[in-house]
């Protein structure tokens, strides 16, 4: 059995409230049990983690990997490589591919491609409705057998409330969550950015915050009546946070995530019509940004997700109202969170890591997200002080649509370990 | 007003390579354009061809149908002895298989100095200005800006009123979908006018008050205080679904007619950017009446566009070294 010793690091494991200087021993791909010590076994490889943070491998609860169907943007292999470089050991792939992951076979395809790539773990999210048409439920039971860990119609909101109600009832059989893009489609049709003063000045069609808030309220009401689990992806509005906070106080099974760009930017970023800032949901105003940060601080928002949406250059170089939505965010999530949350002292490292481990692991019912003895050794090692410049042309991702190109940031992934095996070393890149 | 007989001396203060919108211009820059337009208007009294743009190539890239603006730009360039080339494409760039930037780069490579761009997407001229070496002149980008229309409206007002300081200009109708409204608001507020926007709440974009305008929903309430009434065209093609119940109801609430004209200031100026929908924004008797500036606007549009082309060509010549 191979052994890997990570020495002298600051071990942060929010699942056990640990934040201390401690070595971590990996034996045979698992965290060593309490009776095994580095002193009495042979060490094959060791990493000196002095000055570094050692934490459970990060988990992203929704990424778009575009395979099958749009391999020009990303494949499961390149997406998984981007995830590793971003410190992620597990990512959940959205089912909004072509064809949609709405059958056992298509879920198994994702699992298979993930195994072939042998990078991070890519677990499938299954479709809620067949072909994301919003009309008939997909074969949810079969999808679970094929490996699906949660259900979503991707960027298509589940707009028919009766379908959403049945989906929540049905998935409750397996205690799996439905990840909805909370948005009333009719209110955002043709929209490009947040509706407000900036959209008025720029002459771009707006996407009002109310479009999200109405759907958040509906989903909470349906979760309450069904007892099902609803998760709201990439929320962006102040009222959404308030609604979720209240719902949690009533013990409704609702959770939410937020994406780094919504924590850092306001809608003024659209002023020069750069399509790399065009995301769905849109970047809103300062009051919304502040509310999202508050939601993270008081645990109303349990997860942070990149909402990785890779898009090839030719798609993003269109006119802004024709260009598709999305940011390729896996490789910049961590430093952007450091900028938005750590440098501003909104969160501690332990709190931040919790949103990237325990939060998504709980959402997707995964065993990972912890460094408990004997679990599979998925570990991320971070240099919290490394200063570097984001260069999108150095991305592992096949796409470079990221508006933070050129930004100087702090905090960098040094090693990403999956199954006890070092799959990514930052030093090897440059 | 004083018409400058000599070349306006202020040209050295014009340094812009592109004219993308009035938002970015300051008062002095707007006045430079207006002064040049007045200068060209004087020179054109003799109808002789001028040589200000001799050797300059102006390309008109129209990605959205237009007859009036295109004709006006074309004529403006030709009156100044520029060589012109027209490129018209309909639909989005996607349907052509070539991106819109590629199209513009292709045209630029043919040796073009200035590009006049009309496009249905807001920001499209700005996007081009970042990719091209030529000067870019926005001839209307979606619901964003239409700077030369704003300038010609303002030129027409200034010509009749002398100065816009303290004057009240009311913009009526579809403010939400109007690039003309946005260019008018930027330009007029910078020149000291008081701007009122008037229309149904469904056609007023959010937080527009922050541009320093007053929002009013009842046209009749502002007739008495308006020195100028600019009747924006109902943008049927940009609207998605019904923003008001019927054209008849729109005309009833927001149309300019004889009765409303009687309750307006005696010397009120009636402007309409056109093409007008007769009987909708205004009745034919008002359109053809003595208060109407509609045809003056069209005439002045030529001089404003001559001024813009000339100023941008000057910058282009200064900044592009001779090979």
With CA atoms as reference, report the closest residue to A132 among A109, A157, A165: A157
With CA atoms as reference, report the closest residue to B257 among B234, B229, B236, B233: B229
The first and second tokens of residue A420, run together, are 């006890």
What's chain B's average pLDDT? 92
**Annotated catalytic residue: which of A102, A153, A280, A307?**
A307
Quick one: what percent of chain A has pLDDT higher than 70?
99
Q: How far apart are CA A86 and CA A66, in angstroms?
A: 18
**Confidence band of B100 (pLDDT split at 50, 70, 90):** confident
> pLDDT tens digit string along B209-218?
999 999 999 9
Nearest CA in chain A to B206: A196
Q: Is A318 on the interface with B (CB under 8 A)?
A: yes
Distance between B266 CA and the closest CA of chain A, angstroms: 33
Task: Please check whether residue A72 is in contact with residue A104, taking contact to mean a CB–CB distance below 8 angstroms.
Answer: no
> pLDDT tens digit string along A364-376?
999 999 999 999 9
- Any idea which architecture A57-363 has in CATH? Alpha-Beta Barrel (3.20)
Q: Is A320 on the interface with B (CB under 8 A)?
A: yes
> pLDDT tens digit string along B263-275?
999 999 999 997 8
What SS3 class is residue A113? helix
Report whether pLDDT(A87) > 50: yes
What's chain A's average pLDDT? 97
Distance between B7 CA and the closest CA of chain A, angstroms: 34
| Domain regions of chain A by residue span | 3-53+375-428, 57-363
**Confidence band of A39 (pLDDT split at 50, 70, 90):** confident
At residue B65, the pLDDT reads: 85
User: What residues of chain A lie within 8 A of the CB of B125, using their CB?
Assistant: none
Which CATH fold topology does B147-295 show? Rossmann fold (3.40.50)
At residue B239, the pLDDT reads: 61
Verify whether residue A44 is a known catalytic residue: no
The first and second tokens of residue A267, run together, are 């809608």
The residue ranges of DSSP E strands in A40-120, in sequence order, are: 45-48, 53-56, 58-63, 88-93
Half-sphere exposure of A154 (CA within 13 A, CB side): 25
User: What residues of chain B lie within 8 A of the CB of A273, using their CB?
Assistant: 122-123, 126-127
Report whether pLDDT(B96) > 60: no
Topology agreement, domain A3-53+375-428 and domain A57-363:
no
What SS3 class is residue A157? coil
Task: Please check whether residue A89 is in contact with residue A120, taking contact to mean a CB–CB distance below 8 angstroms.
Answer: yes
**Confidence band of B141 (pLDDT split at 50, 70, 90):** very high
Cis peptide before B275 (omega within 30 of 0): yes
Q: How far apart are CA B2 and CA A159, in angstroms?
A: 63
**Confidence band of B95 (pLDDT split at 50, 70, 90):** low
The first and second tokens of residue A256, run together, are 């939410």
User: What residues of chain B lie within 8 A of the CB of A206, using their CB?
Assistant: 205-206
**Confidence band of B242 (pLDDT split at 50, 70, 90):** confident
Report whether pLDDT(B72) > 80: yes
The first and second tokens of residue A166, run together, are 């049945």
Compute, in degrees rounded to 10, the torsion defined by CA atoms B268, B272, B273, B274.
-160
Q: Which of A278-287, A414-423, B35-44, B274-283 has the lowest mean pLDDT?
A: B274-283
Query: How would you write chain B as a 3-class SS string?
Result: CCCCCCCCHHHHHCCCCCECCCCCCCHHHHHHHHHHHHHHHHHHHHCCCCCCCCCCEEEEEECCCCCHHHHHHHHHHHHCCCEEEEEECCCCHHHHCCCHHHHHHHHHHCCCCEEEEEECCCCHHHHHHHHCCCEEEEEEECCCCCHHHHHHHHHHHHHHHCCCCCCEEEEECCCCCCHHHHHHHHHHHHCCCEEEEECCHHHCCCCHHHHCCEEECCHHHHCCCCCEEEECCCCCCCCCCCCCCCHHHHHHHHCECHHHHHCCCCCCEEECCCCCCECCCECHHHHCCCCECHHHHHHHHHHHHHHHHHHHHHHHHHHCCCC
The first and second tokens of residue A381, run together, are 């090692």
User: What residues of chain B lie within 8 A of the CB of A199, using their CB?
Assistant: 205-206
Angle at Cα A60 formed by Cα A242 and Cα A81, nearest 5°? Answer: 155
At residue A428, the pLDDT reads: 67
Give the residue from A185, A194, A200 with the most B CB atoms within 10 Å of its CB, the best one to mutate.
Answer: A200
Q: Is A269 on the interface with B (CB under 8 A)?
A: no
> Please, what is the end-to-end C-alpha distance for chain A in angstroms?
31
At residue B89, the pLDDT reads: 76
Report whether pLDDT(B207) > 70: yes
Q: How far apart are CA A393 and CA B296, in angstroms?
A: 54
Verify whether residue B45 is a known catalytic residue: no
Cis peptide before A99 (omega within 30 of 0): yes
Task: Please check whether residue B148 is in contact with residue B139, taking contact to mean a CB–CB distance below 8 angstroms.
Answer: yes
Please indicate whether, in this complex, the C-beta atoms of A200 and B205 are within 8 angstroms of each other. Answer: yes
At residue A18, the pLDDT reads: 98
Task: Please check whether residue A127 is in contact with residue A152, taking contact to mean a CB–CB distance below 8 angstroms.
Answer: yes
**Confidence band of B255 (pLDDT split at 50, 70, 90):** very high
Q: Angle, nearest 10°, between helix axes A349-356 and A286-297?
A: 90
Q: How far apart are CA A225 and CA A230, in angstroms?
A: 12
Distance between A70 CA and the closest CA of chain B, angstroms: 17
The first and second tokens of residue B173, run together, are 């109708």
Q: Where are the alpha helices (DSSP H) in A172-318?
A: 185-188, 197-202, 209-226, 238-249, 260-264, 286-297, 313-316
How confident is the model over A322-351, as a mean pLDDT? Answer: 98
Q: How far apart are CA A59 and CA A80, in angstroms?
A: 12
Q: In A168-184, which positions are buried (b, 16+ CB within 10 angstroms) versus exposed (e)?
A: bebbbeeebbbbbbbbb
Distance between B168 CA and the closest CA of chain A, angstroms: 21
Q: In A81-101, which positions are buried (b, 16+ CB within 10 angstroms) versus exposed (e)?
A: bbbbbbbbbbbbbbbbbeebb
Report whether pLDDT(B219) > 50: yes
The first and second tokens of residue A4, run together, are 């890997």
Predicted-assembly ipTM surpassing the 0.85 threshold: yes
Q: Is A187 on the interface with B (CB under 8 A)?
A: no
**Annotated catalytic residue: which of B18, B41, B52, B69?**
B69
At residue B3, the pLDDT reads: 47
Report whether pLDDT(B323) > 80: no
Q: How far apart are CA A49 and CA A383, in angstroms?
A: 9
What SS3 class is residue A5? strand
Cα A203 to chain centroid distance, Å, stands at 32
| Residue carrying structure tokens 């470079």 | A400
**Confidence band of A407 (pLDDT split at 50, 70, 90):** very high
User: What residues of chain B lie within 8 A of the CB of A314, using their CB?
Assistant: 99
Report whether pLDDT(B253) > 90: yes
Task: Please check whether residue B265 is in contact with residue B224, taking contact to mean a CB–CB distance below 8 angstroms.
Answer: yes
Verify whether residue B118 is a known catalytic residue: yes
**Whats the size of chain B, residue-wise?**
323
> pLDDT tens digit string along A250-293?
999 999 999 999 999 999 999 999 999 999 999 999 999 999 99
**Confidence band of A23 (pLDDT split at 50, 70, 90):** very high
Output the CATH code of domain B9-145+299-319: 3.40.50.1370
Please state the φ and ψ torsions of residue A153, each to the nearest 5 degrees. -105, 25
The domain A3-53+375-428 belongs to what CATH superfamily?
Urease, subunit C, domain 1 (2.30.40.10)
Quick one: what percent of chain B has pLDDT higher than 70?
93
Q: How far apart are CA A229 and CA A248, in angstroms?
A: 12
Q: How far apart are CA A213 and CA A33, in angstroms?
A: 47
| Residue carrying structure tokens 């008849």 | B248
Report whether pLDDT(A206) > 70: yes
Residues on B contacting A at a C-beta cutoff of 8 Å = 23, 92-94, 99-101, 119, 121-124, 126-127, 141-145, 179, 182, 205-208, 210-211, 240
Whole-structure pTM value: 0.94
């Amino acid at each position: 059995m191979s052994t890997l010793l990570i020495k002298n690091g600051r071990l942060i494991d929010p699942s056990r409230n640990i934040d201390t200087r401690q070595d971590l021993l990996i034996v045979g791909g698992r965290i060593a049990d309490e009776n095994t010590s580095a002193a009495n076994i042979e060490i094959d490889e060791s990493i000196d983690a002095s000055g570094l943070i050692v934490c459970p491998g990060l988990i992203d609860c929704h990424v778009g990997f575009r395979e099958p169907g749009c391999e020009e943007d990303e494949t499961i292999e390149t997406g998984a490589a981007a995830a590793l470089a971003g410190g992620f050991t597990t990512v959940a792939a959205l089912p909004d591919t072509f064809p949609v992951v709405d059958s056992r076979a298509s879920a198994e395809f994702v699992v298979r491609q993930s195994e072939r790539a042998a990078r991070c773990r890519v677990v499938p999210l299954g479709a809620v409705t067949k072909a994301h048409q919003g009309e008939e439920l997909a074969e949810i039971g079969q999808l679970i057998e094929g490996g699906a860990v949660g259900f979503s119609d991707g960027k298509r909101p589940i707009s028919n409330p009766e379908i959403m109600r049945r989906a929540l009832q049905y998935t409750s059989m397996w205690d799996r969550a439905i990840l909805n893009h909370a948005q009333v489609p009719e209110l955002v049709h043709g929209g490009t950015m947040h509706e407000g003063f900036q959209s008025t000045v720029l002459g771009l069609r707006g996407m009002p915050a109310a479009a999200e808030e109405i759907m958040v309220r509906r989903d909470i009401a349906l979760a309450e009546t069904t007892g099902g689990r609803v998760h709201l992806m990439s929320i962006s509005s102040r009222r959404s946070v308030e609604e979720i906070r209240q719902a949690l106080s009533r013990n409704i099974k609702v959770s939410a995530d937020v994406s780094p760009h919504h924590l850092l930017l306001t809608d003024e970023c659209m002023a020069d019509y750069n399509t790399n800032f065009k995301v769905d949901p849109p970047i809103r105003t300062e009051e919304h940004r502040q509310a999202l940060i508050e939601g993270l601080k008081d645990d109303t928002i349990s997860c942070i997700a990149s909402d990785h949406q890779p898009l090839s250059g030719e798609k993003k170089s269109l006119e802004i109202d024709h260009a598709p939505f999305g940011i390729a965010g896996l490789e910049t999530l961590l430093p952007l969170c450091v900028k938005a949350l750590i440098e501003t002292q909104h969160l501690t490292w332990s709190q931040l890591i919790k949103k990237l481990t325990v939060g998504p692991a709980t959402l997707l019912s995964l065993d990972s997200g912890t460094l408990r003895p004997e679990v599979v050794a998925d570990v991320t090692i971070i240099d919290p002080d490394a200063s570097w410049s984001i260069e999108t042309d150095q991305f592992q991702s096949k796409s470079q649509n990221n508006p933070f190109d050129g930004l100087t940031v702090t905090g960098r992934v040094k090693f990403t370990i999956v199954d006890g095996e070092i799959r990514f070393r930052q030093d090897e890149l440059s | 007003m004083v018409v400058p007989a000599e070349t306006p001396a202020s040209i050295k203060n014009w340094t812009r390579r592109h004219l993308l919108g009035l938002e970015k211009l300051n008062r002095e820059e707007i006045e430079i354009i207006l002064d040049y337009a007045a200068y060209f208007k004087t020179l054109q009294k003799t109808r002789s061809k001028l040589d200000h743009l001799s050797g300059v190539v102006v390309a008109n890239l129209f990605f959205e149908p237009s007859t009036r603006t295109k004709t006006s730009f074309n004529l403006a360039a030709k009156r100044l002895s520029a060589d012109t080339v027209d490129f018209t494409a309909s639909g989005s760039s996607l349907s052509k298989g070539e991106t819109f930037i590629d199209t513009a780069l292709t045209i630029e490579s043919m040796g073009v100095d200035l590009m006049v761009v009309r496009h249905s997407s807001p920001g499209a001229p700005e996007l081009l200005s970042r990719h091209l070496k030529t000067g870019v002149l926005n001839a209307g980008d979606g619901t964003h800006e239409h700077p030369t229309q704003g300038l010609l409206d303002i030129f027409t007002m200034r010509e009749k009123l002398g100065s816009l300081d303290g004057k009240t200009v009311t913009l009526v109708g579809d403010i939400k979908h109007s690039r003309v409204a946005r260019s008018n608001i930027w330009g007029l507020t910078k020149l000291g006018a008081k701007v009122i926007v008037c229309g149904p709440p469904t056609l007023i974009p959010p937080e527009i008050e922050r541009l320093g305008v007053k929002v009013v929903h009842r046209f009749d309430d502002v007739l008495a205080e308006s020195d100028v009434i600019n009747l924006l065209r109902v943008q049927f093609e940009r609207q998605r679904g019904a923003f008001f119940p019927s054209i008849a109801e729109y005309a009833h609430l927001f149309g300019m007619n004889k009765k409303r004209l009687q309750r307006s200031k005696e010397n009120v100026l009636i402007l309409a950017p056109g093409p007008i929908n007769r009987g909708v924004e205004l009745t034919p008797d008002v359109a053809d009446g003595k208060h109407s500036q509609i045809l003056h606007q069209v005439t002045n549009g030529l001089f404003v566009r001559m001024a813009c082309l000339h100023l941008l060509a000057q910058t282009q010549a200064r900044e592009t070294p001779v090979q």
